[in-house]
Amino acid sequence: MGLLNHVLEFFSLETLDTRLFPPANAAKRQAVINSTRHSPLEDPETLRIVAHVLTNYAIGRYRNLSLGSSLLNDGFKGIISRWDVFFNFTLLRMISYNLDYLEKLYSPPASPKKEDDSKEEASSNILSFLDDRLRLTAPIPLADYNLINYFAYLTYTPLFIAGPIITFNDYIYQSNYYQLPSVKDYKRTLIYFARLVFCILVMEFLLHFMYVVAVSKTKAWDGDTPFQISMLGLFNLNIIWLKLLIPWRLFRFWSLLDGIDPPENMIRCMDNNYSAVAFWRAWHRSYNRWVVRYIYVPLGGSGKYRIIANLCVFSFVAVWHDIQLKLLMWGWMVVLFLLPEIGATMYFKPYQNEWWFRYACGLGAVCNIWMMMLANLFGFCLGKDGVIALLREMFSTVSGFEFFVLSLSALFVGSQVMFELRESEKRKGINVRC
């Protein structure tokens, strides 16, 4: 029984009684809370994150290690040999369940009457329609934080492989209490499917007629002008955007058919971004919402220690993707690129009603776009050699400098168009904050 308790504690089932038989009143629950207090080093959540980091490191370093036996080296490696890649998303779900449970467990009950409310009364009186933000902290009854819901959430098939990521509270709210109007609108779902098919056809067209991926992989850009190299990088970034968008929307479409509406990733086209903060918010939107809820806000959010919170967030994001120094450096570079935007936003905010404010924002947007392009070209498309070749051609030749000046003008005009698109959305009551 002692071994079983340790196993359950590792999966953050701190007290088995609280998961299978939640305390009937506040006094018993407080006794459970007091009995489960421990130091951070003994916290199962901390242990799980450390174990995940070490597991990823070991798998990446010793994947091809010879074990002295052909059966062990070349034998059956499971249905999915690279299961550790998908486990990254499972880890997020495990953390979401545990932190939502602890938040519910530690929160004081509203009243003894509500504490003893039945599940049906909670469903009718408390869990009415909630928007996407309120669903993150939906008032789920404590009885729903049990092993059955835990494993149902971890293994939810449509979102198991790559998301989009949905929190435990949101999942239970939609699956047990309230089906959102969006999943009942079959016309909307059919249009969503048609848009998915269109994106797949665009991807096929790009891969069939534009060989930018092959050119970037073989570094065959010798003799190209700065404009050609920049277009090579631009179409590479668009292909990467489509490559991620298609599976995310496929799995979300599957989830919509099943009656669960998870957050949408990539709610804007990649080319319709001028802010590094907003780009990160819109790119992997469900992951961003997860990180904000469980890491950014607990660390202080946009308050006094905003920079430290951002540094911790992007360090976690880099390590979550893979244990590589270049990814960690990428995360820290992103924070470095965010600093000018954050500082400029704070400094110029009092002048937002001035006539020149929008033009100043346009100049800042041009700088932001260039920094984001260079960072993504360096990390995902052209690599170090390609970026160096682009910068050398741009600033060492007359034609390259002409291209640089013209690109600044084009990006400035493009930023003004993007500003107006967002203003038009606000006039319609739409504000997606990206």
Q: Which tens digits make up the pLDDT trace of 73-99?
A: 555 566 777 677 778 888 899 999 999
Which residues are marked as active site?
321
Average pLDDT over residues 101-106: 86
Which helix (H) or strand (E) is 349 found in, with range? none
Contact call for residues 230 and 237 (beta carbons, < 8 A): no
Fill in the DSSP letter of residue 176. I
Q: Which residue has the tokens 């504000």?
A: 431
The whole-number pLDDT of residue 47 equals 52
The whole-number pLDDT of residue 137 equals 83
Average pLDDT over residues 182-195: 91
Average pLDDT over residues 89-114: 79
What's the mean per-residue pLDDT of the chain? Answer: 77
The whole-number pLDDT of residue 336 equals 79
The whole-number pLDDT of residue 153 equals 92
CA distance 84 to 63: 11
| CA pseudo-torsion sign 157, 160, 162, 165 | positive
Contacts of 309 (CB under 8 A, 6+ apart): 295, 296, 299, 300, 301, 302
Q: Range with the lowest mean pLDDT among 60-74, 87-101, 102-116, 400-414?
A: 60-74
Q: Please indicate whether residue 315 or residue 43 has the higher confidence score (pLDDT).
A: 315
Q: Is the pLDDT of residue 44 over 80?
A: no
CA distance 74 to 67: 10
Which letter, b or e, does each residue of 388-424 get, where b requires 16 or more Cβ atoms within 10 Å of its Cβ?
ebbeebbeeeeebeebbeebeeebeebbbebeeebee
The whole-number pLDDT of residue 54 equals 56
The whole-number pLDDT of residue 27 equals 52
The whole-number pLDDT of residue 22 equals 46
Q: Is the pLDDT of residue 407 over 80?
A: yes
Confidence band for 9, pLDDT divided at 50, 70 and 90? very low
Confidence band for 48, pLDDT divided at 50, 70 and 90? low
The whole-number pLDDT of residue 393 equals 80
Confidence band for 41, pLDDT divided at 50, 70 and 90? very low
The whole-number pLDDT of residue 328 equals 77
Confidence band for 115, pLDDT divided at 50, 70 and 90? very low
Q: What percent of the chain has pLDDT over 70?
A: 75
Which pairs with CB-CB distance under 8 Å and at least 24 residues apart come from 390-398? 390/226, 390/229, 390/230, 390/233, 393/224, 393/225, 393/226, 393/229, 394/226, 397/226
Q: Range with the lowest mean pLDDT among 27-41, 213-227, 251-265?
A: 27-41
CA distance 207 to 93: 34
The whole-number pLDDT of residue 188 equals 92
CA distance 158 to 90: 13
Nearest C-alpha neighbor of 290 from the set 84, 95, 90, 46 = 95
Q: Please indicate whether residue 322 or residue 260 has the higher confidence score (pLDDT).
A: 260
The whole-number pLDDT of residue 201 equals 94
Contacts of 130 (CB under 8 A, 6+ apart): 138, 173, 178
Nearest C-alpha neighbor of 339 from the set 368, 312, 319 = 368
Q: Which residue has the tokens 């018993």?
A: 28
Contact call for residues 311 and 332 (beta carbons, < 8 A): yes
Q: Range with the lowest mean pLDDT among 5-14, 118-127, 262-271?
A: 5-14
The whole-number pLDDT of residue 21 equals 41
